């Protein structure tokens, strides 16, 4: 895989920066929630399929059945996350929606502790108060800029998005674990990342298509530039961003991964301010500083993982 010598932390941060543009691009596309989810994933499939072929030519083995179904299952939650998140964007704006969805930081750590027996580090525990304060401030609890039209609805959809996002991260991370891909731990970083992401995106595409048929209000908006923005979203976020994150997953604790992904809401708030004129208030800027401090505290000295413990109740 590319950038093999780069640390997993750097790869995860780079991936988070790539997906930071997602909310802004979805807003520019002007499509319904389900349409944005469907075309984002659909456009990414051919590119990911090409990367899978490259992996196979490099001698990477085909994913086992367990890993494939775990990845596809994670895609179901990813599609649900995208739809809930899109509604959050409409209610509170692109930057704030991304922040609300990233309450997954605490949820991922708690779920990983309960389900996988992965105890968070002391640094992460110390960083949690700063994370929570940062998210609350950045969400505009003490004053927000323009773009917040339905705060209560946005908060509810944001909470739902966080739950779905947490489930997606934990399941796809398990699909990338050394146990799931049946390779030595030291080789896990380079084993089937594109394959796992392809299967997850395929699962999300199928789920989005089902929702498009079952739910009302499917709309693309003007085909151009809407489809163009969604194509850019597919490349920058679904392919490049999530590939970098997926590559780094086996060597990061779930709690640290969740903390690093908080780079995404900070970047999204900045982009929303520049592109959509959603200017953050002073308290929101303080919140972003607190988030960055928490990321640094949680991630320092936490690599690599020597063992991923999976409970017997883990998905099969």
Whether residue 183 is contained in a domain is answered as: yes
* C-alpha to C-alpha distance for 249 and 206, rounded to whole angstroms: 24
Whether residue 33 is contained in a domain is answered as: yes
Whether residue 52 is contained in a domain is answered as: yes
Number of domains, the chain: 1
Whether residue 309 is contained in a domain is answered as: no
Are 177 and 310 spatial neighbours (Cβ–Cβ below 8 Å)?
yes
pLDDT digits (tens, 9 = 90+) for 31-68: 999 999 999 999 999 999 999 999 888 888 888 888 99
Q: What is the span of the domain harbouring residue 47?
A: 9-299
Mean pLDDT comparison of 139-143, 191-195, 295-299, highest-scoring range = 191-195
pTM assigned to the model = 0.78
Percent of the chain at pLDDT exceeding 70: 83
User: Is the Cα torsion angle 121, 126, 127, 132 positive or negative in sign?
Assistant: positive
Q: Considering only 91-105, 221-235, 265-279, which range has the smallest mean pLDDT?
A: 91-105
Residue 63's φ and ψ, nearest 5 degrees, are -65, 145
Whether residue 173 is contained in a domain is answered as: yes
pLDDT for 84 equals: 93
pLDDT for 146 equals: 57
Question: Could you give the C-alpha distances from 124 to 8, 258, 293, in angstroms and in order?
Answer: 17, 10, 12
* C-alpha to C-alpha distance for 30 and 260, rounded to whole angstroms: 29
pLDDT for 4 equals: 53
* pLDDT-derived band at 149, boundaries 50, 70, 90: low
* pLDDT-derived band at 179, boundaries 50, 70, 90: low
Whether residue 96 is contained in a domain is answered as: yes
pLDDT digits (tens, 9 = 90+) for 92-147: 778 778 777 777 777 777 777 777 777 777 877 888 888 788 777 776 667 666 55
pLDDT above 60 (res 217) = yes
- Please give the structure tokens belonging to residue 92: 């509170």
Whether residue 314 is contained in a domain is answered as: no
pLDDT digits (tens, 9 = 90+) for 3-40: 455 688 888 889 989 999 998 999 899 899 999 999 99
pLDDT for 103 equals: 73
- Please give the structure tokens belonging to residue 151: 């705060």
pLDDT for 110 equals: 75
Beta carbons within 8 Å of 119's beta carbon, 6+ residues apart: 113
* C-alpha to C-alpha distance for 87 and 82, rounded to whole angstroms: 9
Whether residue 1 is contained in a domain is answered as: no
């Amino acid at each position: 895989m590319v950038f093999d010598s780069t640390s997993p932390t750097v790869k995860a941060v780079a991936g988070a920066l790539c997906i930071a543009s997602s909310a802004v691009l979805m807003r520019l596309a002007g499509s319904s929630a389900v349409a944005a989810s469907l075309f984002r994933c659909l456009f990414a499939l051919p590119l990911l399929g090409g990367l899978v072929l490259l992996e196979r030519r490099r001698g990477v083995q085909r994913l086992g059945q367990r890993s494939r179904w775990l990845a596809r299952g994670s895609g179901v939650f990813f599609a649900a996350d995208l739809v809930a998140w899109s509604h959050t964007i409409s209610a509170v704006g692109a930057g704030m929606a991304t922040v609300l969805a990233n309450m997954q930081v605490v949820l991922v750590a708690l779920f990983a502790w309960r389900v996988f027996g992965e105890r968070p580090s002391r640094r992460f525990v110390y960083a949690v108060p700063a994370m929570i304060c940062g998210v609350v401030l950045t969400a505009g609890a003490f004053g927000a800029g323009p773009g917040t039209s339905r705060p209560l609805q946005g908060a509810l959809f944001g909470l739902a998005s966080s739950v779905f996002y947490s489930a997606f991260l934990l399941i796809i991370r398990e699909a990338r674990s050394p146990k799931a891909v049946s390779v030595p731990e030291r080789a896990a970083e380079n084993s089937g990342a594109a394959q796992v992401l392809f299967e997850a995106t395929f699962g999300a595409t199928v789920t989005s298509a089902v929702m498009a048929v079952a739910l009302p209000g499917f709309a693309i908006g003007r085909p151009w530039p809407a489809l163009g923005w969604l194509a850019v979203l597919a490349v920058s976020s679904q392919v490049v961003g999530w590939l970098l994150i997926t590559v780094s997953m086996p060597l990061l604790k779930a709690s640290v991964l969740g903390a690093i992904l908080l780079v995404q809401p900070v970047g999204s708030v900045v982009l929303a301010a520049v592109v959509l004129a959603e200017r953050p208030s002073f308290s929101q800027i303080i919140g972003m500083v607190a988030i960055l401090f928490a990321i640094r505290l949680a991630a320092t000295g936490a690599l690599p993982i020597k063992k991923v413990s999976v409970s017997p109740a883990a998905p099969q």
